[in-house]
Amino acid sequence: MILALIAFFSSCQKQIDAPSVRQEEVATSANSNSQHGHLIQTKEYSSDVAFKWIDMQLRIMQTSSPFIGGLPAFRPIAYSGIALYESVVPGMPAYQTLSDQLTDMPAMSATLPGYAYHWPSCANAALADMNRKLFPTTSTVNKNAIDSLENALNAEYQDDVNAAALQRSAQFGKAVAQLIFDWSTTDNANHANDPYTPPVGAGLWVPTPPANLAAFGPYWKNNRLMVQGSLNGSAPPPHPVYSTTPGSPYHQMVKEVYDISQTLTPEQRAIGLYYRDNPGFGGGHYLSIVKQVLQKENSKLDISALAYAKAGIALVDGGIGCWTAKYTYNLERPITYIRNVMGYTTWAPLFGTPNFPEYPSGHSTAGGAVAETLTGLFGDNYQFTNHSYDYLGMAPRTYTSFYQMAVEIGDSRVYGGIHYRIACTEGNKQGRKIAQNINNTLKFLKE
């Protein structure tokens, strides 16, 4: 009897001690990861992967032909930022997915419970796929550069994580990217430039010299908002009533632009050209600014993912709000009035006038949205220097707050001769209000 009982308990103990195949794999993975430091959260990693992919995206915007600038740049910034965030948020316990908050955003892929993930590898795979998908017509050189960067980072990560975790992380990042990209194709952006006949009348927008290009983005106002309700209370007020009478508010509004153009100081000229953004990054300039602030802060991967996503979302909805107003007012550009009404028939702005209505200023709306977003993340009275165009030989711009930067961005369009003052001040207000609405609605932190 005693021998039988010993044999029975010995058999039971072996069954208890022998884990299932999956349990064994998880335990082995956990032990290995513990030894190599992989059971750590997103906040423990540097932002190197995010910064390198931001640089890649800026390079694509800078070098692609035709030039990828202006409003379209806001979409890849936003969708890439969201993909980055969603690819690493499972490693951010205090944060949550945006899938039930952003308009029509699908549910995201889930990580496998009990398995370790290497968050930089997740981010690398997600951002590589997003840039391939969002810029399908970029040059072969750029496409090869995307492949090279992804491979180089993977090779680097092989020294930090075992092959199984690396593969699992890459698969997760790619799955996130596919879901985000598929979602992006349904935002109605492909109809932004459908055939359009601008209204005709005194003071209304007409194509401007020298290229006299057709209106850009007349239906961008119909694009899907990232955050429902983000435009509430943001519409700019009416501009002065059209008049050709000297001394009238409208005439004075235009005359200010002309007078400034005749007395531009070197500093004003430098500001105007700095935010021309062509040559440059186009709308990607705002992403360059975000990256520089994150570098100054030495932000970890979690904060960089958060900032990248928040700034992109604010830019997209800010652009939709701005373009809604532009094609509601359809206001003429300064060059049209200065030449045809004021009689300065050879007058020209500092650089070419963009081919869409004047009011409000797109740069000012975007600047206000980004300034509000960055202020919410890093506070007011924040000193930083914008080095975006050092490579063009332009002197950097230094600010004591993000709001000061936004005001200068608006001023740059007046100095450039392409916007009225009211378009810039009201555009700034519009962008800030939209960002405030987003900040008050969108919840990154768990309740």
What's the distance, CA 332 to chain centroid? 28
Q: What is the mean pLDDT of residues 34-50?
A: 78
Options 3.30.2130.10, 1.10.3720.10, 1.20.144.10, 1.10.760.10; CATH of 42-189: 1.20.144.10
Contact 179, 106 (CB under 8 A): yes
Q: What share of the chain is helix, strand, coil (3-state, %, to 5)?
A: 60, 5, 40
pTM of the predicted model as reported, rounded to 2 decimal places: 0.91
Measure the CA–CA gap between 364 and 318, rounded to whole angstroms: 10
pLDDT band at 32 (very low <50, low <70, confident <90, very high): very low
Q: Residue 20 pLDDT > 50, yes or no?
A: no
Q: Which fold has domain 203-223+233-441?
A: Vanadium-containing Chloroperoxidase; domain 2 (1.10.606)
Q: What is the mean pLDDT of residues 241-253?
A: 98
71: tokens are 């409003």
User: What is the model's pLDDT at position 67?
Assistant: 54
Delimit the CATH 1.10.606.20 region(s) of the chain.
203-223+233-441
Report which of residues 81 and 3 the model is more confident about. 81
pLDDT band at 250 (very low <50, low <70, confident <90, very high): very high
User: What is the model's pLDDT at position 66?
Assistant: 58
Delimit the CATH 1.20.144.10 region(s) of the chain.
42-189
pLDDT band at 259 (very low <50, low <70, confident <90, very high): very high
130-139 pLDDT, tens digit each:
999 999 989 9
Other residues' Cβ atoms within 10 Å of the Cβ of residue 302: 22
* Range name among 19-23, 146-150, 216-220, 380-384 with the lowest pLDDT average: 19-23
Measure the CA–CA gap between 63 and 342, rounded to whole angstroms: 39
* Range name among 60-69, 291-300, 437-446 with the lowest pLDDT average: 60-69
User: What is the model's pLDDT at position 76?
Assistant: 95
176: tokens are 């996130």
User: What is the model's pLDDT at position 30?
Assistant: 38
Q: Please give the radius of gyration of the chain, using alpha carbons only, rounded to the nearest integer.
A: 26
Q: What is the mean pLDDT of residues 309-334?
A: 98
Q: Residue 347 pLDDT > 60, yes or no?
A: yes
